[in-house]
Amino acid sequence: MEIIHNFINGQSIPPANDQYLENVEPAIGEIYGKIPRSTEQDIQLAVEAAKAAFPAWASTDIGVRADILSKIADLIDQKRSQLAQAESRDNGKPVKLATLVDIPRASSNFRFFSRAITQWSGSSYFMRGQESLQSFTIHQPLGVVGCISPWNLPLYLFTWKIAPALATGNTVVAKPSEITPYTAYMLGEICNEAGLPPVVLNIVPGLGHEAGQAIVEHPEVKAISFTGGTKTGSIIAGLAAPKFKKLSLELGGKNPNVIFADCDYDKMLKTTVLSSFANQGQICLCGSRILIERSIYNKFKSDFVAKVNSRKVGDPKIDENHLGAVVSAAHQQKILDYIALAEEEGGRILTGGHAIHPKGRCAKGYFVAPTVIEGLDNNCRTNQEEIFGPVVTLQPFDSEEEALALANGTAYGLASTSWTQD
Ligand code: TXE
């Protein structure tokens, strides 16, 4: 049983109440570790430490900050394999995907901001007609920043918040998702090794409505960077706004993938299989509503279903598998419930639509077959609500105007794709 603790003051310390949460490996459906169930007490400790560290870190030479972040990037690169294995164990995604995408991106998040911070420029203006007066802007760090991240791209999104906060001289209290905490814990050790002064970064795993909410509500936390569900984003915005905290929210999506008859068909088909099911469809940018010009609808439908049927689902440790496990039993059930809802709403399942039970070590894991559904109206719940799994719907359209109306016809607006050569 692997037990991890809070990373506060550069040390690994147990939660104040000595309470832990179980950490499950979704590919095998078994508990492999325990993580702190941190509370307000732990957040108080972390924020106090980060606040005390702020003056020194904020006044650290930009070149020194840049060098430390660059060293963190180097260490992430060096530890890519261990980090990818840990990411896959926590999240269920293929090790190959974590190795090729998640971990390299975590490294480049630090490398980008280590360079960007040395090129930061302000702006200045002379007052017209009063040349003796000059106004200018300078960027200054805020203080303690709260970073809260989700389970779908654990280290990728965690570092995307932490790197800029640290680069600009802020100190950080960060909470990974309680479902995928392990690479966050490994990042703490990497930061120590890279020479990041202790207490500049504090990592406090725990439940959202407990540790997460304590970060959002803490008066000394001056800004919140959050990625996760839209509902949660709305709760956080409601708590932060009256306290005038700066907010960065990256929330859910129900993204359209609009395919016109004049597209580069082979390139579109190959990419659409990836953009529909990469990371088991658990990426906020995945195109979950595929809109196809009617003249190529039947051709696309049969070609796409044939390609989806060639996708291999199974043990994330086996490179030949394209899809691994979804992140938890609860999320697997949520996806299966949406598939049942799609059928109730009149949808026709063209392929998939069920759980998968691979043989061997993953027999009890949480796997869902890549699923393609047609025959649903754009306004039904299946096409309006974020499923966040390997499920896409197909809808034909007859004109650009109709395609636009369908694409824009949800409350979301995170991302969209269109395939055309015009
Ligand atoms: O997000 P949550 P989850 C969508 C997707 C998914 C849904 C829920 O639809 O099914 O969000 O995913 C913390 N105060 N996306 O459960 O619950 C929580 O502990 C403070 C899209 O991961 O929003 C975790 O660390 N923090 C998204 C983080 O917020 C709170 C990627 C996200 O948890 C909190 C992931 C609270 N009250 C999910 N409640 C994208 N855009 O990529 C929870 N948390």
Q: Indicate the pLDDT class of residue 128, thresholds 50, 70 and 90.
A: confident
pLDDT of residue 132 exceeding 90, the answer is no
To 5 degrees, how large is the angle CA 374–CA 415–CA 265?
Answer: 55
Q: Residues near ligand 1 with C-beta < 6 Å?
A: 148-152, 175, 177-178, 208-209, 212-213, 216, 227-229, 232, 235-236, 250-252, 284, 386, 388
HSE, CB side, 13 Å, CA atoms: give it for residue 173. 34
Angstrom distance (rounded) from CA 363 to CA 356: 9
Spacing, Cα 252 to ligand 1 middle (Å): 9
With contact defined as beta carbons under 8 Å apart, do 135 and 122 qualify?
A: no
Contact present, 111 and 160 (Cβ < 8 Å):
no
Q: What is the DSSP letter of 98?
A: I
Mean pLDDT of the chain: 97
Q: pTM value? A: 0.96
CA–centroid distance, residue 229 to ligand 1 (Å): 4
Q: Which of 263, 284, 286, 362 is catalytic?
A: 284
Query: Does an H or E element contain 263, and which?
Result: none
With bands split at pLDDT 50, 70 and 90, how would you rate the model's confidence at 130?
confident
User: What pLDDT digit, counting tens, does each position of 307-355 carry?
Assistant: 999 999 999 999 999 999 999 999 999 999 999 999 999 999 999 999 9
Residues in the chain: 422
| Residue in 51, 248, 54 with CA at minimum distance from that of residue 140 | 54
pLDDT at 129 over 90: no
| Residue 232, pLDDT above cutoff 90 | yes
Short-list 102, 76, 77, 78, CA closest to 89: 102
Q: Categorize the per-residue pLDDT at 384 as very low, low, confident or very high, splitting at 50, 70 and 90.
A: very high
Q: Which of 40, 217, 250, 385 is catalytic?
A: 250
Distance CA 279, CA 311 (A): 13
Cα(354)–Cα(374) distance, integer angstroms: 16
Average pLDDT over residues 114-131: 89
165: Cβ contacts below 8 Å, ≥ 6 apart: 145, 147, 172, 223, 225
pLDDT-derived band of residue 302, with 50, 70 and 90 as boundaries? very high
Q: In what order do the strands lie in the sheet containing 11-13? A: 11-13, 6-8, 201-203, 171-175, 144-148, 221-227, 246-250
Q: How many A from CA of 230 to the centre of ligand 1?
A: 8
- pLDDT tens readout for residues 145-171: 999 999 999 999 999 999 999 999 999
Rounded CA gap, 144 and 224, in Å? 9
Q: What is the Cβ-side half-sphere exposure of residue 231, based on CA atoms within 13 angstroms? A: 4
